[in-house]
Structures are given as C-alpha cells and as structure tokens.
Structure 1
Amino acid sequence: MLKRLLSYFFPIKIHSQTSAVSKSLEITWANGNLVMDSLNTNYSYGSLQRILKLGLKNIGFAKIKKMDHILILGVAGGSVIKTLVNDIPFKGKITGVEIDSEIIKMANQYFKLNEIPQLQIIIDDAFEFVLKTTKKYDLIVVDIFQDTKMPNFLFESFFIDRICFLLNSKGFILFNTMLLDKSENLRNKKLINEFKKENFTIKSIPRVENHNELIVIEKLV
C-alpha cells in the first residue's frame, strides 16, 4: 500500500524484464494504479486504457454489451479487456491474440487476466491468426505496437480486407494508431482516403492523448 500511495507523487517501478519480442517491459505504480510500459510508451492501463475506452464509447457501450464475440489483436497487459469486462460490462466471449508469451505471463501475474472466465488467450502472430481463423466477430480491436512502431502489415490492403471479412453484420473494427511524424500522418490519411468498401464506413478520432489516432470501421449490414 505504501508504494501505491507514494506513486501519486512519483512513479515507482516494481518489475522490469526483457522480452525477445517486446524488448524492455516494466510494471510501475503510477497515480495509484499499476501500468505496463515498454521503453518509450505506455503498453497497458494508463493513457492506453483511456484511449481505447474513448474508442469503445464512440462505438457505444450499449451496442458492445449486446455483442457475442470480440477479438483483440494485441493484448499486452489487457487494459482494453478490463474495460470491456468491468466498465461495460461485456458478458460474451473475448479472444485475445498476443505474439509475446512473456507479456501474457506478466499480465496474468500483475493484472489477473487468467481470472477472466470468458477470455481465451492465443499466443500467435496477429497476421497469421486472421488468416487461419474461421470465426466471425462483432468487434475487432487492433492494438499492435512494437514499442512506438506499428508493423507495416497493419496498413496493407490485404490485412484490412481480411479483418473486414471477419466481421459479423453491423460489426466494428477499432484500430489504435500512433502518429509521431509526417510519414505516419500520411500513412493514416492514405488508409482512410483509399478505403472504399460497399456496406462499410470509416472515420477517425484524431489526436487522442496527443499522439494517437483511432480509426473506426463499421459494417452497415
């Protein structure tokens, strides 16, 4: 409790380790809450939880509550899962795909993800998973980072087409992106401007927490 109280005055790191996939990972008490960080950015809880919660609110908590199956691509510490379960509260099935098994071990230890009964965690590459899965989802959350960088495949038309295909009727994609330079701004504009799919809409929620932009894709029928 002392560390938690002191964290309102300054962050207190309680665990750090390296991972072959994510490199540097830390668990820190900050403003009374445990957060997971990479070397240069927040990975779970903290600002990331606020960002994705805003996106979920934009879709509508009432809509999400009625959904049956949600797919999370990029779990990290699982803050968006905790928002779904605790704040909405979502009672359906959640499938989380995470490439880094070390992150999941930390998430289970510090954030108790393994105690969420409707959650299934799959250790896999997100691109490989979406190619293999035969299931359809009501909401797909894409939150994949390597520190502050996003893999290029996330913005390729094949990947976007595939996750759109995996949506049920009237489903949503919530895509969290980070914009740190001009090229990344242009990358997002290109994706939004070139997105032309019948029965789909796309919109952006710009400059969330300064450097993030949320992209929301909705399947209309």
Structure 2
Amino acid sequence: MIKKLFSYLIPLKIHHTKSSLSKSIEVTWTNGELVLDSENTNYSYGSLQRILRLGLKNIGYEKIIPMKHILVLGVAGGSVIKTLVDEIKYKGKITGVEIDPEIIKIANTYFKLYEIENLEIIIDDAFEFVLKTKTKYDLIIIDIFQDTTMPNFLFETFFTNRVCSLLKSHGFILFNTMLLNDSQNLRNKKYVSEFFKSDFQIRTIPRVEIHNELIVIEKIT
C-alpha cells in the first residue's frame, strides 16, 4: 500500500528481469497501478490498457458480451484480458497466445492472470498458432510487439488472410499498431488501402496515446 501511494509521486520499480525474447522486462507501480514495461514502451496496463479499451468500446461492449470465444495474440501482462473479464464482464472462453514464458510467469505472479477461469494460455509463436488452429473466433485481438518493434509478418497478406479466415460470421479483428516514423505511417496506409475483401470492412482509430493506431476489421457476412 505504501508503494502504491508513493507511486503517485514517482514510479517505483518492484521487479526487473530479462528473457531471451523480451530482453528487459519491468514491473512498476505508476500512479497507483501496477504496469508491465519493456525497455522502451508499455507492455500491459497503463497506456496500453487504455488503447485496447478504446478499441473494444469502438466495437461495442454489447456485441462483445454474447461472444463465445475470443483469441488474444500477444498476452504480455494480460491487461486486455482483465478489461474483458473485469470491466466488460465477458464470460465466454478466452485463448491467449504468448511466445515468451517468462512474461506469463510475471503475469501470473503480479497480475494474477491464473485466477481467470475462462482463460487458456498457450505458449507459442502467434504465426505458428494461427497456421495450426482450426477454431473459429468471434474476436481476434492482435497486440504483438518486441519492445517497440512489430514483426513484419503481421502486415503480410498471407497472415492477414489466415487470421480473417478464422473469424466467425460478424466477427472482429482488433489490431494494435505503433507508429513512430514516416515509414511506419506508410506501412499502415498501405495495409489499409490494399486490404480488399468483399465480405469485410476495415477502419482505423488513429493516434491513440500519440503513437498507436488501432485497425478494426469486421466480417460483415
């Protein structure tokens, strides 16, 4: 409690570790809440939770609540999962895919992710998981970063087509992207302008928390 109170004055780091995949990982009390950060950006809670909460609101909580199965690609500390369960009161199944087992250990220790009964965590590469799974989902959340870098495969047509094929009728994809320079701005514009599927609609929520842009893909049939 004392650390929580002092965190309104100055951030207090309570855990620091490294993994072969994520390099520097920190858990910090900031403004009265625990957040998970990489070396240069917020990984879970804090600004990231606000970003993905906005995306979920854009889709509509009333549409999310009756969904049967949600896929989260990139779990980190699990802030979007906590938003789904604690704020939206989502009761359906959640499958979370995270490549870094060290991050899941931290998520369980500091953010009590293991307490969520309707959550299944799978340690796997998101690309490999998407290729293997035969399950259809109502909502797919893509939130994959290596510090401030996004893997190139996320923007490739093959991956996009595969993820879209996993959506149920009238399902959604919520894709969190980071824009730090002109080339990344052009990358996103190219992704949106070249996305063409007759049974899907795509829209963006630009400049969320300054450097993020959310892409929402909706299956309309």
Task: Give TM-score, length-normalised by structure 2.
Answer: 1.00
In the alignment, which residue of structure 2 is the partner of 1:44? Answer: 44
DSSP 3-state at the match of 2:103: helix
CA displacement at 1:208 relative to structure 2: 0.1
What do the CA deviations read for 1:147-206 (whole angstroms, capped 9, x no partner)? 000000000000000000000000000000000000000000000000000110000000
Unaligned runs of 5+ in 2: none
State the alpha-carbon separation in 1 of the partners of residues 17 and 36 from structure 2. 11
Please give the alpha-carbon distance, in whole angstroms, between the structure 1 residues aligned to 2:59 and 2:194. Answer: 22
| Alignment map for 1:56-205 (pairs within 5 Å) | 56-205=56-205
Aligned-partner SS, 1:16: strand
Residue-by-residue CA offset, 1:49-80 (whole Å, 9 max, x unaligned) = 00000000000001000100000000000000
**Structure 1 residue runs without a partner (length 5+):** none
Match of residue 217 from structure 1: 217
- CA RMSD in angstroms comes to 0.3
Say which SS state the counterpart of residue 91 (structure 1) adopts.
coil
3-state SS, counterpart of residue 89 of structure 1? coil
1:92 deviation in Å? 0.1
Render the CA deviation track for 1:1-38: whole Å, top value 9, x for unaligned: 11000000110000000010000000000000000000
For 2:88, the aligned partner's letter is I
In structure 2, what residue type is equivalent to 1:79? S
Q: Give the match's secondary structure for 1:40.
A: coil
In the aligned structure 2, how far is the partner of 1:2 from the partner of 1:89?
A: 30
Give the TM-score taking structure 1 as reference length: 1.00
- Cα distance in structure 2, aligned partners of 1:88 and 1:33: 19
- Aligned mates of 1:86, 1:65 — CA distance in 2: 12
Tell me which residue corresponds to 2:18.
18
Looking at structure 2, the residues matched to 48 and 60 of structure 1 have their Cα atoms a distance apart, in angstroms, of 18
SS at match of 2:24: strand
1:111-139 Cα distance to aligned partner (Å, 9 max, x none): 00011000000000000000000000000
Partners of 2:91 and 2:3 lie apart in 1 by 33
Percent identity over the alignment is: 72
